[in-house]
Structure 1
Amino acid sequence: MPALDNLQMDIAFLASLIGLLLVWGNFLLVIIFTGRVIMKRLPVGASLSWLIILLLFPYVGVGLYILFGERYLGSKRRRRQESLLSSYQQVKMDGEALQVRLLDRIHNGGQALANYELSTTGLPAIGGNTIQFLSHAEDTIHAMVADIDRATEYCHLEFYIWHPGGNADLVADALVRAKERGVVCRVMLDAVGSQTFFRSHLSRLLRKHQIPVIKACPIGFIPWRLARYDLRNHRKMMVIDGKVGYIGSFNLIDPRYFKQDQGVGEWIDVMARIEGPSVRVIDGVYRWYWNIEAGDRLPLSPATIEPNDSAAVIQAAPSGPDVEKESILNSLLQAIYSAKHEILIVTPYFVPGEVLSQALRIAARRGVKVSLILPKRVDSFLVRYASRSYFEELLQAGVRIFQYDQGLLHTKCVLIDGKLSFFGTVNMDLRSLWLNFEMTLIVYDSQTTEVLKEIVEGYIQDSIPLDAEAWEQRSLRKRFVENVMHLFSPLI
């Protein structure tokens, strides 16, 4: 049996050699990608989380970093964006001329905030607008349909989710009617969020009537051409003829038919209906991203916008991996640190990271009344426990936390001193603040902010305040899970 023994020895030696090569191969990859994480200068929490993943998960950690570690948007998108830069530079020049310069009369931090956003995105704060908040899904859908039915030139839609069923189908019918009148209709939907739509009868209906429907951030099989798989277009907006705009948290869904199997109740949203000169700025943002995704050449900025410093002053604040790093986060920090009396925050997903959490704690300790209104139940296990990992230190600092118990509260807004407000699609988590394509309205107007505040106070009435002492009595098991999720919260 010497031959068999020799074969077994050869197999054992080969297995040992392969094992050794795998160990050293992983070690080499960890060294290379550790260096890359360090040189990329990601937020400290994100960097540490990636280092933990690289060390704990051989090869898998490297694969995850390649897919999700950097904000790379893909070669095709980059080339298209570079080809459009000249038109964007003109928009920035127009923004300087249109910017309102007297915003400190509304709030002491208003002008600094507006100037920061202008320097970041090139988009100005412009007055002369009116805003109506729609807080019921049925009202929102019917208002959208009515405006589409009044369109004479174009309808531009951009949504993260369009889910077929119920009243959401009425929007598709309205677009078909508009198309038959000669109105140009364009629809841009996130490739992942709206994947059900692209397989539905609604998609076939729109294409049958030659209404272009494009996938934003499409998923492909070649990562270096696709970019990161999880960079999503999270915006919810619509523009009609450059005269009426919609922005908010509302996806094109009927809450009665959407995710009813997840035990969180119906989704609760608010949409802003806007009229005034800022609508053309919002439409310019839409056109910019349409051109990039569709390879088109729509003009970005109509020459009809005039300077206006009357109420309500609005500044469109698009954010995402193609805008200056952490731009909307910095704007929120600027507003929070300028608060004197009250901060109200409504968000479904609250994983703020250390910098934003610290800003809220500091505000509470200097006497600002800080309130968080969050849903009691959310549709993500990871977010649920990562969010709760921040509660104890916030409660100890004097931040009030209310848990909404009438459904999944999906509205996203921040109100500062009843005079300044952020409203749109941005959640208080690092994914939304740093990775996703989002759209926020910054409203410099006390009357509009007060209307939004009434909606928020209604949420508080339907919420259960979290008691600090009772929270400290939660089980050791829950604390452990929260702290584990906290380690990875910069990546959630």
Structure 2
Amino acid sequence: MLCVALYIIQAMLLCSVAVRDVKHPVRALAWLIIGIVLPFVGVGLYFVLYRRLPAQSRKQTGESPGKPDSTEVPPAISTPSGRNICRIVTHMTRAPAVPAECTVYSDGRAMYHALLRALRQARHSIDLEFYIFRADHIGMRVVDVLCEQARAGVRVRWIRDGVGSRSLPKAVVDRCEAAGIRCRVFYPVRFPWLSPRLNRRDHRKIVVVDGERAFVGGMNIGDEYTGQKDDVGRWRDTHLHIVGGGACRELSRVFERAWTLSSEERRRNNPSRHPRAVTDRLATEFSAEVAPPAHRPPPSSTHQGWVQTVDSGPDYPIPSVRNLFFAGLTQSESSVDIITPYFIPDTDLLTAMKVAVHKGVRVRLLVPEQPDHAAVGYVSRTFYPELLRAGIDVYLYQEGVLHAKVMIIDGETCVLGAANYDLRSFRTNYEVCQVVYSQALANYLERQFEADLQRSTPLNARWLANIPPWQRPVERVARLFAPLL
């Protein structure tokens, strides 16, 4: 009798998962399998990790209520796809495209050189928001500049993600707070640890200086992004430096929303860790690591363009970043080039890629040969045969780590930011992307894309035939759990 009762309860729980996640059937299927393999435990984990957050109103997300004042497209945006994408983004974000100066960095050394220079030149305010912030050579150089500026009277606010930056020593935070920096943690991991917040991370990388210049893209704060870390090797990334008050205001809006969701630091009542003692100790400990670099940073590219900001999160009214990628594919007329370290699209995006090819658009996808997460690699490879059969060109990057997130549409519209081409970025993480309309910038990124292809291997039928037999069932099983990665 007890077994029958437990069976009925388990069946009701599984049915509740299916009904509750009916809008995301693929994710529901993954959790149903977990619930069957781990009775009660699997369903319990689902309800803890995927408890619904209340949807944020447009006032809370910083968006203006109602329709935008105007969907007029700047005359400088000349391609039909660019004009259509601009209208779509304007309607989604309630913010029109604004002019800005944009500099693209694909090398971490050059980006950090420019970032440190901008931080030193700050006069009023510095806002930082990072998924990963490490207390290594680069991280401590940034901390030194922030502390100097805070002591000089500049308002400095710093958000770090509670999981991505969980290894950051408390002593570093104490030092920053002692200097006058306001520090917050986005959804910190605290008792009882398992909560809906654990699965919802702040994946953004944003710096806004004086409300006039900003840095946004794929690079966090850490030595690995310089490509000089022996156990990592060459790092291929993309980051954007924006100069212009209008574009920076939108990024400030994104930062302010994250600031309200973040938690204040919890200070320790430990006399041995007094902020003054921590400051003095760290100043000595890292004194050898704050000297300016001896190397000359590599060149970058600066162009004028029109910019829009698209951000999204699990409690937003619509999946804006996912809709942006969909708009780029469906509105394209001649070419779409995509660079992403993680490729796990949903059905609609996969269909949009194939339909774009059917109407004559050249679609090329550049992904790493070996993603830094093995499970992601297994899942991504299950999509490649389908893409190749549809006529999409797929390339595997061979030289080091590919971490860039770039989309170039019809030689004018560029999408750069922190969001990957995967379900986690679309539904679970807090993300941000910049849409830049500039033929000059697009041409620069296309040349960079062509150079990346020289370091890549194109996929073909021979590659598919050489997949080990044991790998195919592993990949199929991994794909079942794609919505959870």
User: What range describes the TM-score normalised by the shorter chain of this pair?
Assistant: 0.7 to 0.9
1:52 deviates by 2.3
Residue in 2 that maps onto 1:319: 312
Q: 1:160 to 1:105 in 2, by over 3 A?
A: closer
Residue in 2 that maps onto 1:373: 366
Tell me how large the CA RMSD over aligned residues is: 2.7
Residue in 2 that maps onto 1:139: 110
Report the residue type matching 1:284 in the other structure. R
SS at match of 1:374: strand
Report the residue type matching 1:462 in the other structure. R
Distance (Å, rounded) in 1 between the aligned partners of 2:377 and 2:335: 26
Matches within 5 A, 1:237-386: 237-255=206-224, 265-276=233-244, 277-294=246-263, 312-386=305-379
Distance (Å, rounded) in 1 between the aligned partners of 2:167 and 2:405: 24
Report the residue type matching 1:491 in the other structure. L
1:413 deviates by 1.0
The C-alpha deviation readout for 1:78-131, integer Å capped at 9, x for no partner, is 8xx67xx65756x51599347543479433233443343334333x13222110
Q: 1:335 to 1:264 in 2, by over 3 A?
A: same
Per mean C-alpha deviation after superposition, the further-off stretch among 233-242 and 463-472 is 463-472
Matches within 5 A, 1:9-88: 21=2, 24-25=5-6, 27-72=8-53, 86=59
Report the residue type matching 1:272 in the other structure. L
Residue in 1 that maps onto 2:155: 184
CA contact (8 A) 1:269 1:411 kept: yes
Report the residue type matching 1:179 in the other structure. A
2:165 to 182, 190, 194: 194
Q: 1:392 to 1:264 in 2, by over 3 A?
A: farther
1:140 deviates by 1.0
Distance (Å, rounded) in 2 between the aligned partners of 1:256 and 1:337: 33
1:22 deviates by 5.7
1:219 to 189, 214, 223: 189
SS at match of 1:133: strand
Q: 1:259 to 1:396 in 2, by over 3 A?
A: farther
Report the residue type matching 2:409 in the other structure. I
- Mark the runs of 5 or more structure 2 residues left unpaired by the alignment: 265-302
Q: 1:25 to 1:115 in 2, by over 3 A?
A: farther
Pair 1:157 & 2:128 matched = yes
1:257 deviates by 8.8
Pair 1:92 & 2:57 matched = no
Report the residue type matching 1:153 in the other structure. H
Residue in 1 that maps onto 2:199: 230
Distance (Å, rounded) in 2 between the aligned partners of 1:120 and 1:410: 27
Q: Scaled by the length of structure 2, what TM-score is found? A: 0.85
Per mean C-alpha deviation after superposition, the further-off stretch among 209-218 and 188-197 is 209-218
1:47 deviates by 2.1
Residue in 1 that maps onto 2:410: 417
Distance (Å, rounded) in 2 between the aligned partners of 1:94 and 1:455: 40
Distance (Å, rounded) in 1 between the aligned partners of 2:441 and 2:309: 15
Distance (Å, rounded) in 1 between the aligned partners of 2:225 and 2:99: 37
CA contact (8 A) 1:106 1:446 kept: no
Q: 1:98 to 1:274 in 2, by over 3 A?
A: farther
Residue in 2 that maps onto 1:171: 142
- Mark the runs of 5 or more structure 1 residues left unpaired by the alignment: 1-19, 296-309
Q: Scaled by the length of structure 1, what TM-score is found? A: 0.84
SS at match of 1:449: helix
SS at match of 1:96: coil
Distance (Å, rounded) in 2 between the aligned partners of 1:193 and 1:87: 25
Distance (Å, rounded) in 1 between the aligned partners of 2:451 and 2:35: 45
Matches within 5 A, 1:469-480: 469-480=462-473
Structure 1 or 2, whichever has the larger Rg, is 1
Number of paired residues? 446
Pair 1:207 & 2:200 matched = no
SS at match of 2:216: strand
CA contact (8 A) 1:138 1:167 kept: no
CA contact (8 A) 2:59 2:65 kept: no
Q: 1:384 to 1:114 in 2, by over 3 A?
A: same
Report the residue type matching 1:234 in the other structure. H
The structure richer in helix per residue is 1
CA contact (8 A) 2:77 2:437 kept: no
SS at match of 1:202: helix
CA contact (8 A) 2:332 2:409 kept: yes
1:370 deviates by 1.1
Distance (Å, rounded) in 1 between the aligned partners of 2:345 and 2:66: 34
The C-alpha deviation readout for 1:16-37, integer Å capped at 9, x for no partner, is xxxx536633541431342343
CA contact (8 A) 2:133 2:222 kept: yes
1:452 deviates by 2.1
